Chains A and B, each alone.
Chain A
Amino acid sequence: MMARKPNEARIVITGVGLTAPNGNNLAEFRESLLTGKSGIQKFNVRYMGEVFAGVCDFDPLRYQKKKELRRGTRAGSVAIYCAQEAIADAKLDLTCLDKSRIGIYVGITEHGNVDTEKQIYEIKQFNYDTTFVSHHYNPRIVANNPAGEVTLNMGITGPHYTLGAACAGGNIGLIQGFQMLLLGEVDLALAGGVSETIHAFGAFASFRSEGALASHADPEKACRPFDKNRNGVVVSEGGCIYLVERLGDALKRGAKIYGEIVGYATNSDAFDFVLPNAQRQAECMKLALNKAGISAGDIDIINTHATGTREGDAAECQAIREVFGNHINVYINNTKSYIGHTMGAAAALELAGNLPSFEDHIVHPTINVDQLDPECSFENLVINEPRKVDKVNYILNNSFGMLGINSVVIIRRFEE
């Protein structure tokens, strides 16, 4: 085992705030993942009518005034809920904190589409007279909006920005928080990802045009990574923001520690706009393992990115085989089968759903696999039923996105 780094160079997760289509806090979310509860439903989208989507039902008025809701965006609202929940979960009192030393780093797939579509729809009622464009439009669509709304709501005066990283956004937000803590730029980081994508028709329509929008008679069965008959993505909303801090600070205040961020990597396919590249994904996993100073055999759970597309799932499986070879002790699962693709939130949410495994030694399954695709077959792919295991020391979280952005985060069970 490698020598431990000094405590100021070790970064730990001490709070989790989330909203998923099947849970509005980690306990609810975990319970859903262990009991096979899906969050996918029929949902009406402008111009398209009924589609399948993952929809969150958190109470935004828990932390926002009605006026804030009217002024802000759905992504902002999701980010505020998650950030406030993370602070509360970390048992921190915002009124006692130096708010200039808190940084907010929120991964997004995209931002602004929802309000752009809405404005165009609204001015259409006025024969496209642009004087009817709302004065609220610009502050709603600036790329930093979801993180900025958190600062307004919580009075945080440290740095805030979003990280546009397609569907790897959640991992990239967390990595950014890690790095800023390591650099000493902030003392607390609120880091993760959010998505409001379902409130615009664009993503649904474009996936459909690509032939990559999932369909099934039953919405809850529509997203089925690794199944032979998988046929695409279910678009969802959601958010997950972690409270991350240096180990020394966490120990000083007796914080509950969910896990330690020990490895991460991000790289680029330089290959195609939408198609994945197994070789680069494998390289990304190897880079993260190197950074963590461990080997593939040390990983206990791989939470896959697999979205339920034919090419994407197969490429990731190929990449995993290249890195993990015959390490059959690695358990493999997937979260999108329950909640669909929460886009910018996906990586952060999917990691969160696995963190309790450090304590309960249960690996949540991937659901909806009726007929396993031989291309996606692994001995320890956990299908349809949770698996009790002897130990969980390391979780590897994959997340990849369009334009060939790959990201991997490795979390270790906390040990002093």
Chain B
Amino acid sequence: MTKKEIKSVLMEIVAEIIPDEDLTNLKGDIPIREQVEMDSMDFLDIIMELRKRYGIEVPEDDYMQLATLDSSVAYLEPRMRDL
């Protein structure tokens, strides 16, 4: 997967998790939870979806790496590039 594809997948997952939010202006370099209503249980949904869809395990110590869209793509790219 390319970085663009990974970002697209992440956006798809986030849209499913917080379906009432408008994501059109979501900025890549600002923490997602500062831009839209997303609590810790929603965040765990992202982790679960990555595990279910792609078999990716994100250890708890790495959760901060998924704070923004950009940092998420950077963290996931080495793990998803061969998918």
Number of residue pairs A-B, CB distance < 8 angstroms? 22
Complex interface: chain A residues within 8 A of B51 (CB): 131-132
| Residue in A67, A70, A132 whose beta carbon sits within 8 Å of that of B52 in the complex | A132
Complex interface: chain B residues within 8 A of A132 (CB): 48, 51-52
**Pairwise interchain contact B48-A134, C-beta atoms closer than 8 A:** yes
| Residue in B19, B44, B48 whose beta carbon sits within 8 Å of that of A67 in the complex | B19
Chain A, interface size: which category?
Answer: 10 to 19
**Pairwise interchain contact A135-B48, C-beta atoms closer than 8 A:** yes
In angstroms, Cα B51 to Cα A71, docked, is 19
Chain A contacts with B in 119-162, Cβ cutoff 8 A = 126, 131-132, 134-136
In angstroms, Cα B41 to Cα A132, docked, is 15
Q: Does B80 contact A (CB under 8 A)?
A: no
Q: Does B82 contact A (CB under 8 A)?
A: no
| Residue in B19, B42, B48 whose beta carbon sits within 8 Å of that of A66 in the complex | B19
In angstroms, Cα B52 to Cα A132, docked, is 7
**Pairwise interchain contact A71-B20, C-beta atoms closer than 8 A:** no
What is the CB-to-nearest-CB distance from B45 to chain A, in angstroms, rounded to a whole number? Answer: 8
Per-residue B-contact encoding for A34-70, CB less than 8 Å = 1, 0 else: 0000000000000000000000000000000111001
- Count of chain B residues with a beta carbon within 8 Å of a chain A beta carbon: 11
Chain A contacts with B in 53-91, Cβ cutoff 8 A = 65-67, 70-71
Complex interface: chain A residues within 8 A of B17 (CB): 67, 70
Which residue on chain B has the smallest CB distance to residue A131? Answer: B51
**Pairwise interchain contact A71-B41, C-beta atoms closer than 8 A:** yes
Interface of A is mostly: helix
**Pairwise interchain contact A67-B41, C-beta atoms closer than 8 A:** no
**Pairwise interchain contact A135-B41, C-beta atoms closer than 8 A:** yes
Per-residue A-contact encoding for B23-45, CB less than 8 Å = 1, 0 else: 00000000000000000011011
In angstroms, Cα B50 to Cα A131, docked, is 13
What is the CB-to-nearest-CB distance from A354 to chain B, in angstroms, rounded to a whole number? Answer: 39
Q: Does B6 contact A (CB under 8 A)?
A: no
Complex interface: chain B residues within 8 A of A134 (CB): 48
Complex interface: chain A residues within 8 A of B20 (CB): 65-67
Chain A contacts with B in 219-274, Cβ cutoff 8 A = none
Which residue on chain A has the smallest CB distance to residue B55? Answer: A126
Complex interface: chain B residues within 8 A of A67 (CB): 17-20, 42
Interface centre among B18, B20, B52 (most CB of A within 10 A): B20
Which residue on chain A has the smallest CB distance to residue B37? Answer: A67
Q: A132-B52, A134-B48 are in contact. Are A70 and B41 (CB under 8 A)?
A: no
Chain A contacts with B in 166-213, Cβ cutoff 8 A = none
Complex interface: chain A residues within 8 A of B45 (CB): 135
Per-residue A-contact encoding for B3-21, CB less than 8 Å = 1, 0 else: 0000000000000011110
Which residue on chain A has the smallest CB distance to residue B52? Answer: A132
In angstroms, Cα B61 to Cα A386, docked, is 67
Which residue on chain B has the smallest CB distance to residue A68? Answer: B20
In angstroms, Cα B48 to Cα A131, docked, is 9
What is the CB-to-nearest-CB distance from A380 to chain B, in angstroms, rounded to a whole number? Answer: 52
Which residue on chain B has the smallest CB distance to residue A71? Answer: B41
In angstroms, Cα B19 to Cα A70, docked, is 9
In angstroms, Cα B14 to Cα A254, docked, is 48
In angstroms, Cα B2 to Cα A283, docked, is 73
Which residue on chain B has the smallest CB distance to residue A126? Answer: B52
What is the CB-to-nearest-CB distance from B42 to chain A, in angstroms, rounded to a whole number? Answer: 8
Complex interface: chain A residues within 8 A of B19 (CB): 66-67, 70
Q: Can you list 22 A-B contacts with CB-CB less than 8 angstroms, sorted by A residue number? A: A65-B20, A66-B19, A66-B20, A67-B17, A67-B18, A67-B19, A67-B20, A67-B42, A70-B17, A70-B19, A71-B41, A126-B52, A131-B51, A132-B48, A132-B51, A132-B52, A134-B48, A135-B41, A135-B44, A135-B45, A135-B48, A136-B41
Told that A131-B51, A135-B48 touch, could you supply 15 new A-B pairs with CB distance under 8 A?
A66-B20, A67-B17, A67-B18, A67-B19, A67-B20, A67-B42, A70-B19, A71-B41, A126-B52, A132-B48, A132-B51, A132-B52, A134-B48, A135-B44, A136-B41
Interface residues of A (CB under 8 A from B): 65-67, 70-71, 126, 131-132, 134-136
Interface residues of B (CB under 8 A from A): 17-20, 41-42, 44-45, 48, 51-52
Can you list the 5 inter-chain pairs with the closest CB atoms, starting with the nearest? Answer: A66-B19, A65-B20, A135-B44, A66-B20, A67-B20
